[in-house]
Amino acid sequence: MKNMLSNKFIAIGGAIIVFMILVAVFAPLLTAYDYGMVDLPNKQQVPNKNHIMGTDLYGRDVWCRIAYGARVSLFVSFAAVAIAIFFGSILGIIAGYLKGVVDFTLSRIIDIMMAFPPLLLSLIIGVSLGTSIRNMCISIGVPLIPMFFRVARGVTLSIGERTYVMAAKSMGSGSIKIMIKHILPNVLPQIFVVLSLGMGGAILAEASLGFLGLGIPQPTPSWGLIVNEGKLFMFSAPWTTGFSGAFIALTVLGFNLLGDGLRDYLDPKLKNLEGQS
């Protein structure tokens, strides 16, 4: 663990993520306002000592909404990634283990999913399911499935031929048992690396859908929604979108750094290459 933290990327990225999680968890303690409290006389105030990030069109405290927004955005992103990991890794392991027709069919289906820009796929799934928090998790999660599928399939293919897997096979272990006992433990660390990058992608997707006005609906504040509410006033009152966008970027940066760090850490080949230089 100590060794792991000596990787700068993991340390910085991890610190950002921990900070965001703390903000989400302790949102009620960190803010003096109610995220939904309308206060029209104080609308669109520039950041001041009462409202450190200003107020929005309805006089609501922006910092308060961002802090509560962290809850929604982080939760939705995490749930989306969980969906993607569940389906992606199960299908990936099955494809990589059984090969042949199963692999071919699953790989073509994944090809079809990858034929869409991820945001477009989220968009049409979101629109067709209707906007709700649950549906948002699905529509953000589905385009992330190929990412996990490919990792799981690749790792499974590479270890499927190893002696201990062959030995387990020859001793008559069932396929499902082999996949769970021998393959899954090898797939998980790689999934872990991609998880972090996937979280970054999910946060961005939630924000972009929100920006387009097709994200998580009112009244629950999500970062995407806050961005969307402020975007029309970017010239006159840029703080709403400005601060919420900065939080989104910082969180994505945290996940990206963490993912990069973990990849370097778990892939010594790459690490050596960087170390040489």
Kindly provide the b/e burial profile for residues 48-84, where b requires at least 16 CB atoms within 10 angstroms of the residue's own CB.
eeebebbbbeebbbbbbbbbbbbbbbbebbbbbbebb
**CA separation (Å) from 169 to 6, 153, 166?**
40, 19, 5
What gap in Å lies between CA 18 and CA 30, rounded to an integer?
15
3-state secondary structure of 222: coil
What DSSP letter does each residue of 10-40 carry, written as one string? HHHHHHHHHHHHHHHHTHHHH-SS-TT---G
Q: Which is nearer to other proteins, 61 or 264 (CB)?
A: 264
First to last CA, the chain: 25
Give the interface segment with other proteins, choosing from 63-71, 128-136, 144-152, 172-180 (CB under 8 A).
128-136
Among the listed residues 130, 174, 185, 268, the single contact to other proteins using CB under 8 A: 130
Can residue 112 be called a binding residue for other proteins (CB under 8 A)?
A: yes
Can residue 125 be called a binding residue for other proteins (CB under 8 A)?
A: yes
Can residue 276 be called a binding residue for other proteins (CB under 8 A)?
A: yes
Among the listed residues 5, 46, 167, 273, the single contact to other proteins using CB under 8 A: 273
What gap in Å lies between CA 223 and CA 220, rounded to an integer?
10
Residue with tokens 């003096």: 32
Supply the minimum distance, in Å, between the C-beta of residue 240 and other proteins: 11
Is the bond leading into 219 cis (omega within 30 degrees of zero)?
Answer: yes
Q: Which is nearer to other proteins, 89 or 228 (CB)?
A: 228
Can residue 18 be called a binding residue for other proteins (CB under 8 A)?
A: no
Q: Hey, which residues between 174 and 203 contact other proteins (CB under 8 A)? A: 200
Can residue 3 be called a binding residue for other proteins (CB under 8 A)?
A: no
Supply the minimum distance, in Å, between the C-beta of residue 255 and other proteins: 8
Give the interface segment with other proteins, choosing from 27-35, 116-124, 153-161, 168-176 (CB under 8 A).
116-124
Closest CA to 152 of 119, 121, 106, 113: 106
- How many residues in the shown chain lie near other proteins by CB under 8 A? 44
Q: Which is nearer to other proteins, 3 or 276 (CB)?
A: 276
Q: Which is nearer to other proteins, 85 or 204 (CB)?
A: 204
What gap in Å lies between CA 187 and CA 266, rounded to an integer?
12
Among the listed residues 214, 226, 237, 258, the single contact to other proteins using CB under 8 A: 214
φ/ψ of 161, rounded to 5, equals -90, -5
Give the interface segment with other proteins, choosing from 67-75, 81-89, 182-190, 241-249 (CB under 8 A).
241-249
Among the listed residues 54, 69, 118, 146, the single contact to other proteins using CB under 8 A: 118
Task: Give the binding site for other proteins (CB under 8 A).
Answer: 108-109, 111-112, 115-120, 123-125, 127-130, 200, 204, 207-208, 211-214, 227, 231, 234-235, 238, 241, 245, 248-250, 252-253, 256-257, 260, 273-274, 276-277
